[in-house]
A and B are shown apart, each in its own frame.
Chain A
């Protein structure tokens, strides 16, 4: 009896420690980013840092404006959402409501596989297929551009959007759909007028999750976007928040390095914001 209690407590303790470990990691990263991100912002000035349009970290007279990166990340993500969400959403509708079981099983596996492909492979394929394709198609000197990054990101966010939307659509009680069909609505009407509205917060969560994935992606976009700190334009080489950190970190020092930490902090704040929005939608789902 007593021994049991001790074992029980010990196990609880182990779980608690493991849980705290995770929490500790999050806290450590947060605190570290804030501490190492603040000095550069102080030195450069918050306004000049966030809204400066010129990034020249290694120039004679260095300039640390990250507006190009922020806008590139926002445009890139928005573009990926504009392309990826309709494709993902309608795929989810098809798979959860209309596909025959065999097709559904096959396509679900394909989507899972898509989710499992390492981002460097996306980048590689983008580099070898997409970039030359864009160059020829639009007749521009270099295909490595925001457009290429948007297309790669749109494909990369598909799995999250499809899977989360599917889960939401499949959770819609069958009774709702039966009621609609029994009133003489067609399956398509039933889907868009009953099932989708009933699953809307889950679908919104899927979109937000897609935004999170897109804004945090580094490797694939670095390989197809040209990685030049221009103000964003669809057919120009651009640099994202993520790639700005990744591309200079290895040789940076001093204020330049501190500025990279500040970029990471900005990125982190973006992700926090997205997570908050995601939690909002998920909570709504549960009510």
Chain B
């Protein structure tokens, strides 16, 4: 497996708070990489540096590099919107737009200039199928998305992210607001999706990381403490702090 993203000496400050300290990590293509760690450890912040969503917060300052396909995404020549199209994101709270299911999925493609009804129909169906929600919604595509259940909304958000054909899908605790059944659906979906996409997932749930991820990174106080194959990290952690965390001694 080749590497799709690499962070080199990445540092991030919120105003004067040093939130990420010299993070170095390499994310392999078409796999699931999980970020774990206690609240406030910087895992979500780091996830957001990967598609530059932190740019939206004016007090954030970033040094170091994040390379995607060999290009530093913080280089001034990079088109942020194009970057975010290739590196999609699913948020903690399901956040469908207050419009129809169809329009939610078609939003991204339309933004990127696709106008043909036939083409949009095709994309909408394919995205919903890929997100394993087509059968549930195919008869109510014109209904408002806010009328769906939380779990359905989150799968809709995944479908919406897939509709712009990204290479990487960043998921920020995508199941923390969902019930166990919806959670397991999303987990199955993630495993299915890694055949075609690279997935990076932040999770509070260590079992989830074990169940679905190939590699796991453990963050603590803004530092990447340990990173490696999930199986190995959970069975034979090399760092004492990782061991303490995964055995539940803190966090």
Contacts and interface: CB of A to CB of B under 8 A. Distances in A.
Interface of A: 173, 175-176, 178-186, 189, 193-194, 197-198
Interface in B199-234: none
A179 B56 CA distance: 12
Contacts of B51: 182
A179 B161 CA distance: 9
Contact of A176 (B81, B88, B98): B98
Contacts of B112: 184
Contact of A185 (B81, B93, B99): B81
Given A184-B108, A185-B111, A189-B111, A179 B97 contact: yes
B53 A181 contact: yes
Contacts of A173: 95
Q: Please classify the interface of chain A as helix (H, G, I), strand (E, B), loop, or mixed, using the class held by over half of its residues.
A: helix
B15 interface: no
Given A178-B91, A198-B98, A193 B84 contact: no
Interface of B: 51, 53, 56, 81-86, 88-89, 91, 93, 95-99, 107-108, 111-112, 157, 160-161, 164
Nearest to A184: B85
A175 B85 contact: no
A197 B111 CA distance: 15
B56 A181 contact: yes
Contact of B88 (A182, A186, A197): A182
Contacts of B97: 176, 179-180, 194, 198
Contacts of B107: 180, 183, 185, 193-194
Given A178-B53, A184-B83, A193-B111, 5 more contacts: A179-B160, A181-B84, A182-B161, A183-B160, A197-B99
Contacts of A180: 97, 107, 111
A183 B95 contact: no
Contacts of B85: 183-184
Contact of B91 (A175, A184, A186, A194): A175
A176 B111 contact: no
Contacts of A178: 53, 56, 91, 95
A183 B161 contact: yes
